């Protein structure tokens, strides 16, 4: 059997203790089989480390490399998170492109390929992940790699009119054609990619989404990522008997809880979510003093200016809403800007009557699936889900909302808070089936099946 080689920007070594909020690490970490090689950046910046450092854990080999300060600023802070991330989340107003940073991105992608190449065996299946590494496949091919190479994008892809704004958009598209298989969470993202390929590279994809570019066949697939729902449900059930959940229950005095958990990122629509909660309290005053919102926003990418600006504006917004509605014994929004452990998060989801997952754009959004997995069958909560999250393609029985419409979201929260137990159970049962079916193993196997020769 061929060996699986995973390549991602950050490698999640199981010995790392601190809780980390990030979908890719969580999802890939639980789908790993012994024998796999996982290659990527160590998270360290320095001069050394040009040859990979190897770690072994539970039969998996982790190979990590360091990057220099300048490389980090150009490829990661600059091009990946300052240009690609906003572009692929439809935020052209935040697109911050600089040629020098793109050169740095190309350079680091080539460096990843150079450092990986000596570790590869002839029949390895190489699976490269996400937008920081679009061009690793092309660089591997330039070095003569003949292995099957696959790429998976964890965030949305955009239609041609949006990609056109990126000065190196065509370059990136050509780079993606070096892969044998390119995967997306949803058909929407895949079709957007195919539409770009058609518009900018002049190729006509076949009915099944494959196409030939410069003599190479490229297949495209939709492969929605999932979670280990059974494990998450067990964590939630255990956690609900623990001290932290007892404390949160006591602090609520039988009031309802609505929960949001996200990286502190502008794609997650946190200002819109807070404004919707404001609308709820304004338009449905019967909920004042009866419901609290807990927003756990894990600080993220703090060396990108936009993220600091977002944090400051959220501080102000929460202060404003709480100032207007708080009573001496109740505040509407409890707001934390740090990561919780998975155990606490799972327990808190289970306590919450409403799960608020309202990104403005999201590749998939695993919080939506975790919230469903954490509910008790006897008294399940209600998921409110943005139609612009990839998860909305699967989780149709959630209350699907347009996060740009504060009134619509406020109405959905009101509907969730007043929903009869029978309807809550019905919706949750249907969602449960979908979430349980999409395991990380299924995600990996589907991709591997497409990648195998």
What's the closest the beta carbon of residue 283 comes to ligand ADQ, in angstroms? 28
Among 339, 351, 356, 416, binds ligand ADQ (CB under 6 A): 339
Nearer to ligand ADQ, 83 or 367 (CB): 367
What's the closest the beta carbon of residue 284 comes to ligand ADQ, in angstroms? 27
Catalytic site includes residue 189: no
What's the closest the beta carbon of residue 264 comes to ligand ADQ, in angstroms? 8
CB contact at 8 A, 351 and 375: no
CB contact at 8 A, 346 and 239: yes
Query: Which distant-in-sequence residues (6+ apart) come within 8 Å of 140 by Cβ?
Result: 113, 116, 117, 126, 147, 149, 178
Nearer to ligand ADQ, 72 or 131 (CB): 131
Find tokens 């989340």 and name the residue: 89
Burial class (CB in 10 A: 0-12, 13-18, 19+), 323: exposed
What's the closest the beta carbon of residue 63 comes to ligand ADQ, in angstroms? 22
Residue nearest to ligand ADQ (CB): 23
Beta bridge partners of 63: 39, 54
What's the closest the beta carbon of residue 88 comes to ligand ADQ, in angstroms? 10
Catalytic site includes residue 362: yes
Nearer to ligand ADQ, 23 or 52 (CB): 23
* Number of residues this chain uses to bind ligand ADQ (CB under 6 A): 25
Q: Biggest alpha carbon distance in the chain?
A: 70
CB contact at 8 A, 166 and 83: yes
Among 370, 394, 397, 411, binds ligand ADQ (CB under 6 A): 370
| Binding track over 295-314 against ligand ADQ, x by CB under 6 A | -x-x----------------
Nearer to ligand ADQ, 168 or 360 (CB): 360
What is the rounded distance in angstroms from the CA atom of residue 297 to the CA atom of residue 268?
10
Nearer to ligand ADQ, 21 or 32 (CB): 21
Angle at 421 between CA 418 and CA 424, to 5 degrees: 85
21 lies in the binding site for ligand ADQ (CB under 6 A):
yes
Residues 148-207 that bind ligand ADQ (CB under 6 A): 154-155
Beta bridge partners of 362: 389
Classified as helix, coil or strand, 47 is coil
27 lies in the binding site for ligand ADQ (CB under 6 A):
yes
Nearer to ligand ADQ, 149 or 366 (CB): 366
What is the rounded distance in angstroms from the CA atom of residue 269 to the CA atom of residue 257?
19
Among 9, 101, 358, 365, binds ligand ADQ (CB under 6 A): 365
Classified as helix, coil or strand, 157 is coil
435 lies in the binding site for ligand ADQ (CB under 6 A):
no
Among 66, 362, 394, 411, binds ligand ADQ (CB under 6 A): 362
What's the closest the beta carbon of residue 288 comes to ligand ADQ, in angstroms? 26
Among 6, 8, 23, 412, binds ligand ADQ (CB under 6 A): 23
CB contact at 8 A, 137 and 149: yes
367 lies in the binding site for ligand ADQ (CB under 6 A):
yes
Angle at 185 between CA 181 and CA 190, to 5 degrees: 60
- The strands making up 148-152's β-sheet, listed across from edge to edge, are 53-57, 60-67, 37-45, 4-10, 125-129, 148-152, 181-184, 216-222, 211-213
What is the rounded distance in angstroms from the CA atom of residue 408 to the CA atom of residue 414?
10
363 lies in the binding site for ligand ADQ (CB under 6 A):
yes
261 lies in the binding site for ligand ADQ (CB under 6 A):
yes
Question: Residue 54: CA atoms inside 13 Å, Cβ hemisphere, count?
Answer: 9
352 lies in the binding site for ligand ADQ (CB under 6 A):
no
Q: Which of 89, 129, 154, 185 is catalytic?
A: 154
Nearer to ligand ADQ, 205 or 403 (CB): 403
Residues that bind ligand ADQ (CB under 6 A): 19, 21-24, 26-27, 154-155, 225, 261-263, 296, 298, 339-340, 345, 362-367, 370
Catalytic positions are 154, 362
């Amino acid at each position: 059997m061929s060996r699986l080689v995973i390549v991602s920007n950050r490698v999640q070594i199981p010995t790392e203790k601190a809780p980390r909020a990030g979908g890719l690490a969580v999802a890939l970490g639980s789908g790993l089989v012994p024998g796999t090689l996982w290659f990527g950046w160590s998270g360290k910046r320095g001069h050394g480390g040009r040859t990979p450092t190897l770690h072994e854990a539970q039969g998996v080999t982790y190979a990590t490399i360091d990057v220099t300060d300048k490389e980090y600023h150009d490829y990661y802070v600059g091009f990946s998170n300052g240009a690609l991330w906003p572009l692929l989340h439809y935020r052209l107003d935040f697109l911050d492109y600089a040629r020098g940073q793109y050169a740095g991105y190309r350079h680091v992608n080539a460096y990843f390929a150079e450092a990986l190449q000596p570790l590869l065996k002839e029949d390895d299946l190489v699976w490269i992940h996400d937008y920081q590494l679009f061009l690793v496949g092309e660089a591997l091919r330039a070095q003569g790699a003949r292995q099957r190479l696959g790429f998976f994008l964890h965030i949305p892809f955009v239609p041609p009119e949006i990609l056109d704004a990126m000065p190196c958009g065509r370059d990136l598209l050509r780079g993606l054609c070096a892969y044998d298989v390119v995967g997306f969470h949803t058909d929407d993202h895949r079709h957007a990619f195919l539409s770009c390929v058609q518009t900018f590279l002049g190729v006509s994809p076949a009915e099944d989404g494959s196409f030939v570019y410069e003599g190479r066949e490229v297949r495209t697939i939709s492969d929605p990522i999932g979670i280990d729902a059974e494990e998450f449900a067990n964590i939630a059930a255990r956690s609900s008997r623990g001290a932290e959940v007892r404390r949160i229950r006591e602090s609520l005095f039988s009031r309802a809880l609505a929960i949001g958990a996200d990286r502190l990122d502008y794609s997650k629509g946190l200002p819109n979510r807070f404004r919707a909660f404001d609308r709820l309290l304004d338009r449905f005053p019967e909920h004042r003093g009866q419901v609290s919102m807990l927003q756990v926003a894990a600080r993220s990418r703090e060396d990108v200016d936009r993220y600091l600006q977002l944090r400051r504006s959220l501080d102000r917004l929460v202060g404003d809403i709480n100032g207007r509605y708080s009573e001496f014994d109740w505040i509407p929004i409890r707001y934390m800007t740090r990561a919780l452990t998975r155990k606490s998060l799972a327990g808190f989801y289970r306590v919450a009557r409403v799960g608020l997952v309202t990104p403005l754009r999201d590749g998939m959004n695993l919080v939506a699936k975790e919230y469903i997995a954490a509910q008790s069958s006897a008294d399940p909560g209600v998921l409110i889900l943005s139609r612009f999250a990839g998860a909305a393609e699967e989780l149709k029985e959630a209350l699907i909302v347009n996060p740009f419409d504060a009134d619509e979201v406020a109405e959905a929260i009101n509907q969730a808070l007043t929903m009869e137990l029978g309807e809550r159970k019905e919706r949750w049962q249907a969602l449960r089936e979908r979430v349980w079916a999409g395991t990380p193993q299924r995600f990996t196997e589907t991709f591997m099946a497409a990648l195998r020769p």
